[in-house]
């Protein structure tokens, strides 16, 4: 099979990014992208350019495709929940190292709202960057809004002890049950998504901390630092390893 | 008004008529449309329309390996689509006759 021009390839990538960031069904997205890829291949063989297919504005064309596809809210909510659970699990297991769990309503609501808005901002920026390829604005906007959200998250952590709101305290037993269910949930979603980045990253974050704090009597803060570095290195390495092995599988 | 704008409501019916002739895949359909004189319609325009017609149940798609290799989506018209095509044909003939009538009166 002959290869596509860079222009066509970029158009297909932008289309995929836009549709997925708009919460369209993954299978339906794959279907239309494959169909257009097939079309572009034949069109290029006949000496036509991508503009002959998309018309004057690729961005408008991408939007016209998106408007014909139904938004898969169930899949979006499921994805949002998975990411929330993934982010929360780091916090949960970190707290488990310090003792039984306890969360205030203020913290839980604030945390959910902030992480959700972070994901919504990310999806908006991805959509914008797919239809405005040469523009630096989405990167700037994303950087700015993530900065603000991180500041708010820090504020949430700092103000949590001061603000009184209904608080759930867990016993050791229920804490362990919560921890175990979280771990099973992570395992299950990793199995479904066929990526082991999160559970292995979580282990790389927790095991060194456990060892440093309870065997070598390190302080909690320096142990967190080491755990953080281990997890970041391992997750980045795993991410690149999985991406390249997926690519080799495809070709 | 450009012919692209005039075409908007008519293109659905034209695609339906072409698919009703024989089952086709996307690129083939675009080529046929161009061969019938719709050369300035950009080829990609057909895909959002095909998606809509599929949702409406007028056409159906089946994935099949094509003679040249890759798997392709072939489109066929459903019974509902045939009914719609018949209705479109009547609507178009009435419209074309009325427009023709007015234009003749003017000249």
Is a pLDDT exceeding 80 seen at residue B104? yes
pLDDT of residue A215: 84
Quote the CA–CA distance of A208 and A219 in Å, as a whole number.
13
Contact A61 B27 (CB under 8 A): no
Nearest to B27 among A43, A61, A65 (CB): A43
Q: What is the mean pLDDT of residues A31-46?
A: 91
Question: Of A68, A91, A108, which marks where a domain is finished?
Answer: A68
Residues of A in contact with B55 (CB under 8 A): 68
The full 3-state SS of chain A, as one line of letters, equals CCCCCHHHHHHHHHHHHHHHHCCECHHHHHHHHHHHHHHHHHHHHCCCCHHHHHCCCHHHHHHHHHHHCCECHHHHHHHHHHHHHHHHHHHHHHHHHHCCCEEEHHHHHHHHHHHHHHHHHHHHHHHHHHHCCCCCHHHHHHHHHHHHHHHHHHHHHHHCCCCCCCEEECCHHHHHHHHHHHHHHHHHHHHHHCCCHHHHHHHHHHHHHHHHHHCCCCCHHHHHHHHHHHHHHHHHHHHHHHHHHHHHHHC
Quote the CA–CA distance of A2 and B16 in Å, as a whole number.
31
B107 secondary structure, DSSP code: -
pLDDT of residue A239: 80
pLDDT of residue A247: 63
- To the nearest whole number, what is the mean pLDDT of chain A? 85
pLDDT of residue B46: 92
Contact between B104 and B56 (Cβ < 8 Å): no
In terms of Cα–Cα distance, which of B57, B91, B88 is closest to B75?
A: B57
Question: Of A68, A95, A111, which marks where a domain is finished?
Answer: A68
Quote the CA–CA distance of A81 and A188 in Å, as a whole number.
13
Q: Per-residue pLDDT tens for B57-93?
A: 999 999 888 776 677 899 999 999 999 999 999 999 9
Number of helices (H) and strands (E) in chain B: give both, helices first. 5, 3
Beta-bridged to residue B9, according to DSSP, are none
Quote the CA–CA distance of A11 and B78 in Å, as a whole number.
32
Residues of A in contact with B47 (CB under 8 A): 32, 35-36, 39, 65
- A59 interfaces chain B, CB cutoff of 8 Å: no
For residue B56, give its domain range: 3-106
Quote the CA–CA distance of A206 and A204 in Å, as a whole number.
6
Q: What is the mean pLDDT of residues A139-161?
A: 87
Quote the CA–CA distance of A103 and A107 in Å, as a whole number.
7
**CA-nearest residue of chain B to A28?**
B51
Quote the CA–CA distance of A237 and A227 in Å, as a whole number.
15
- A26 interfaces chain B, CB cutoff of 8 Å: no
Residue A103 lies in a domain: no
- For B97, residues 6+ apart whose C-beta sits below 8 A from its C-beta are none
Number of separate domains in chain A: 2
Banded pLDDT at B17 (limits 50, 70, 90): very high
Count other Cβ atoms within 10 Å, centred on residue A57.
Answer: 12
Banded pLDDT at A25 (limits 50, 70, 90): confident
pLDDT of residue B68: 66
Query: B24-25 and A167-169: which strand pairing?
Result: unpaired
Residue A27 lies in a domain: yes
Shortest alpha-carbon distance between residue B90 and chain A (Å): 27
Contact between A97 and A206 (Cβ < 8 Å): yes
Contact A36 B45 (CB under 8 A): no
Quote the CA–CA distance of B29 and B35 in Å, as a whole number.
10
Question: Of A68, A103, A118, which marks where a domain is finished?
Answer: A68
- For B24, residues 6+ apart whose C-beta sits below 8 A from its C-beta are B18, B32, B74, B75
Shortest alpha-carbon distance between residue B17 and chain A (Å): 21
- A60 interfaces chain B, CB cutoff of 8 Å: no
Q: What is the mean pLDDT of residues A13-22?
A: 90
Share of chain B above pLDDT 70, in %: 92
CATH number (domain holding residue B27)? 1.10.10.10
Residue A145 lies in a domain: no
Is a pLDDT exceeding 90 seen at residue B39? no
For residue A237, give its domain range: 173-251
Number of separate domains in chain B: 1
Contact between B42 and A54 (Cβ < 8 Å): yes
Q: Which of B28, B43, B67, B68 to mutate to test the interface with A (most CBs of A within 10 A)?
A: B43
Mapped onto helix, strand or coil, the DSSP state of residue B51 is helix
Residues of B in contact with A35 (CB under 8 A): 26, 47, 72-73
Contact B51 A36 (CB under 8 A): no
pLDDT of residue A16: 92
């Amino acid at each position: 099979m002959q290869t596509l021009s860079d222009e066509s390839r970029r158009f297909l990538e932008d289309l995929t990014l836009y549709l997925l960031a708009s919460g369209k069904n993954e299978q339906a997205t794959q279907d239309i992208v494959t169909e257009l890829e097939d079309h572009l291949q034949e069109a290029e063989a006949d000496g036509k350019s991508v503009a002959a297919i998309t018309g004057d504005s690729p961005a408008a064309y991408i939007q016209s495709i998106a408007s014909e596809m139904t938004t898969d809210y169930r899949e979006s909510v499921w994805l949002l929940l998975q990411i929330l659970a993934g982010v929360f699990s780091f916090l949960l297991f970190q707290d488990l190292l310090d003792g039984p769990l306890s969360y205030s309503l203020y913290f839980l609501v604030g945390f959910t709202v902030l992480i959700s808005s972070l994901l919504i901002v990310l999806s908006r920026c991805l959509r914008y960057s797919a239809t405005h390829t040469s523009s630096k604005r989405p990167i700037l906007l994303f950087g700015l809004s993530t900065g603000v959200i991180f500041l708010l998250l820090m504020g949430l952590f700092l103000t949590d002890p001061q603000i009184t709101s209904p608080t759930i305290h867990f016993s050791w037993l229920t804490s362990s049950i919560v921890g175990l269910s979280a771990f099973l949930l992570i395992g299950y979603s990793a199995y479904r998504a066929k990526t082991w980045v999160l559970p292995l990253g979580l282990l790389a974050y927790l095991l060194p901390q456990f060892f440093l704090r309870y065997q070598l009597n390190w302080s909690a803060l320096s142990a967190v630092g080491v755990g953080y570095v281990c997890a970041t290195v391992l997750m980045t390495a795993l991410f690149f390893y999985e991406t390249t092995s997926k690519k080799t599988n495809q070709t | 008004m450009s012919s692209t704008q005039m075409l908007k409501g008519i293109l659905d019916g034209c695609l339906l008529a072409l698919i009703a002739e024989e089952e086709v895949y996307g690129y083939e359909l675009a080529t046929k449309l161009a061969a019938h004189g719709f050369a300035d319609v950009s080829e990609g325009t057909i895909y959002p329309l095909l998606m809509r017609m599929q949702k409406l149940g007028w056409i159906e798609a089946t994935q099949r390996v094509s003679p040249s290799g890759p798997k392709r989506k072939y489109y066929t018209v459903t019974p509902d689509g045939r009914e719609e095509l018949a209705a479109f044909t009547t609507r178009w003939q009435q419209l074309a006759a009325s427009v023709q009538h007015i234009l003749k009166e003017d000249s």
